[in-house]
Amino acid sequence: MTHTSLHAPRPTWRARVHTAFAIMVVATLAAGATGCSSNNDPSTGPTNLNPAGEYDLQTIQTKSLPAKVYDGPIGDPEDDDYLESYVVTVTGGGMTLEDNGYYHILIAYTGVMDGEPYSLFYLETGTYETNGNRIVLTNDYGEDAEGTVREGEVTVRMGIAGTATMPYVFRR
């Protein structure tokens, strides 16, 4: 059995303030990114699609939101961090791809750990590169997530809160 350690204590007021600040930063960056537009002249542009813009999370593994992404036990039964019941439900989110190659993802989710409910945000930042309709997101820790880009849609395989990776679909 694979050992997964998940400690998600209830957020304190300081954690809630930190989360609110992170949301404001992402919103500010997203607003700044929308003010920068690219040259859409096809005769001078590269063959890659320009995916820059704001996207809303629509589905996870073909399930509309809210989407339950995990429901079951987690951790090692021999350790103190084992949870008999662990449920993670994604309630919303968004992605901003900036013209300068940076991205920001914010995902809101709720969870229940052995009967105790909580709500959290997942915030990820990093850089992205495209090659044709392929996109690779590299977060600030150097971890890659791959996906595809279509007109108005970005699909990325990712996971949050210790869950397995699955396709997250973002649309404009």
On whether residue 45 sits in a domain, the answer given is no
Residue numbers of the domain that contains 72: 13-36+52-171
Torsion of the alpha carbons at 28, 34, 36 and 41, rounded to the nearest 10: 160
Residue partners of 136: CB distance under 8 A and separation at least 6: 128, 129, 130, 144, 145, 146, 147
- pLDDT score at 80: 83
Task: For residues 57 and 134, give the distance between their C-alpha atoms in angstroms, rounded to a whole number.
Answer: 18
Average pLDDT score over the chain: 82
* DSSP structural state of residue 35: T
How does 40-75 read in b/e, with b if 16+ C-beta sit within 10 Å? eeeeeeeeeeebbbbbebebbeeeeeebebbeeebb
On whether residue 118 sits in a domain, the answer given is yes
On whether residue 46 sits in a domain, the answer given is no
As a whole number, mean pLDDT of residues 98-102 equals 97
Torsion of the alpha carbons at 11, 64, 167 and 161, rounded to the nearest 10: 20
Cα separations in angstroms, 38 against 26, 32, 33, 72 = 21, 14, 11, 45
At residue 152 the predicted structure's pLDDT band, cuts being 50, 70 and 90, is: very high
On whether residue 130 sits in a domain, the answer given is yes
Residues 58-95 pLDDT 10s? 999 999 999 999 999 988 888 888 889 999 999 999 99
- pLDDT score at 47: 54
- pLDDT score at 168: 98
- pLDDT score at 136: 98
Place of tokens 């303030």: 17
On whether residue 72 sits in a domain, the answer given is yes
Higher pLDDT, 83 or 12: 83
Report the helix count and the strand count for the chain, using DSSP H and E: 1, 10
Name the domain count of the chain.
1
Residue 1 pLDDT greater than 60, yes or no: no
Task: For residues 37 and 121, give the distance between their C-alpha atoms in angstroms, rounded to a whole number.
Answer: 29
Higher pLDDT, 168 or 75: 168
At residue 141 the predicted structure's pLDDT band, cuts being 50, 70 and 90, is: very high
At residue 48 the predicted structure's pLDDT band, cuts being 50, 70 and 90, is: low
On whether residue 122 sits in a domain, the answer given is yes
On whether residue 43 sits in a domain, the answer given is no
On whether residue 75 sits in a domain, the answer given is yes
